[in-house]
Amino acid sequence: MSPFAVFCRPVCPLACALVLSLAAGAASAAGTTADSPSKPVAPATAKTPAQPNAGDAKPAPPTHDPGIVVERIRAALAERSEQDKLRVLVGDQPLATHPHADQPATPPKPKPRTRPKAQATATSEPHWAYSGAHGPAHWGRLKPAYGACASGQRQSPIQIDTRQTLQGPAEPLQLAYGSSGGSVVHTGHTIQVDVAGPHTLTVRGSSFHLQQLRFHHPAEIRIDDKTHAMALHLLHRNEQGQMAMLVVPLEAGDAHPEIDKIWTHMPLEVKDRVPLPNGLMNLRALLPTDPRYFQFMGSLSEPPCTEGVLWLVLKQPVTISPEQLRLFAQLFPMNARPLQAANGRVVREGM
């Protein structure tokens, strides 16, 4: 095997090109170029080599010998073992860079990562609040689906003026409430209880199933000039998707044991949910003993402000302790929508 093959096998082809270039230069120096025809060489005859004198210097090996060229390149590569790369130049431009076979290539340094900017998505719900730039005055512009909050003509809550109510007999509310469990949710706007079990309110010939309890501070409905400290809203829905809202006014007084059960399981973080043991709440105990109520057509009192909701506002409040009131107010200092125009709506007052 030739010295070139010995060298080219472990080294990359670019290094072989360098060897050939050096060999070609050596051959040119020896007078073997294409421009100068080579002289005939006499046949070699046996000749006894001259014995060098003891004081003569050892002659240097010829530089055009390819084997010596290979050895010199090997020595040069060994001296550069501490370097990472062998760079081959063609003229003054780098042709390629190759790492040494015995050293791994240094991985490129990672580029610093930048945090992407938050972008609103088409499916994300716009934020709404009870004050500020996203407060009730701006709800209708936050999202097309919230348009009724600004343009609706039967919006809630309203002020009930007992001097103008339609007084007379009203059908009794048929309430089939019992013990229930469920879960307590911090929605970011109120404390909500998702009720478990079949509990119904029957009125106007339709049965509405109880779905949620929601608390507001202060009460949203004003009766004459009185606004209660808080209110409990019980949201119902029938099989046709129609909604009925039963409202229980809350005022400061004695502690309410059922409210205490809910407060005991009250979550402290937004979107957190705490389960209620089955049968813990007595829903019937949340209602006053006086069944009389005000009745009018209104809407949800928060976005999307859907209209066509039957409002049933009980006349008699139930009590909660100042401590129970203060605990809720610490989380929700104010979560009541301002009063909306009645726009000629009739309010029935059961006598």
As annotated, the active-site residues are: 189
Report yes or no: 328 and 215 within 8 Å, Cβ to Cβ. yes
CA distances from 112 to 109, 115, 118, 261 (A): 9, 10, 19, 52
DSSP state of 253: S
Query: Residue 288 CB: number of other CB atoms within 10 A?
Result: 14
Return d(Cα 122, Cα 118) in angstroms, integer: 13
**Total Cβ atoms within 10 A of residue 44:** 6
What is the distance of C-alpha 301 from the center of its chain? 28
Q: Which of 166, 320, 130, 165 is nearest to 231 (CA)?
A: 320
* β-strands 307-314, 243-252 pairing: parallel
Report the C-alpha dihedral over residues 26, 31, 34, 40, rounded to 10 degrees.
Answer: -130
Sole residue written with tokens 């003891």: 54
Q: Which of 69, 58, 59 is nearest to 29 (CA)?
A: 69
Helix (H) or strand (E) holding 326: helix 322-331
Determine contact, residues 283/180, Cβ cutoff 8 Å: yes
Q: What b/e readout covers 214-248, taking b as 16+ CB neighbours within 10 angstroms?
A: bbbbbbbbbbeeebbbbbbbbbbebeeeebbbbbb
Tokens for 238, please give them: 């029938």
SS3 348: strand
d(CA 18, CA 73): 10
Distance CA(303)–CA(130), nearest Å, equals 11
DSSP SS3 for 321: coil
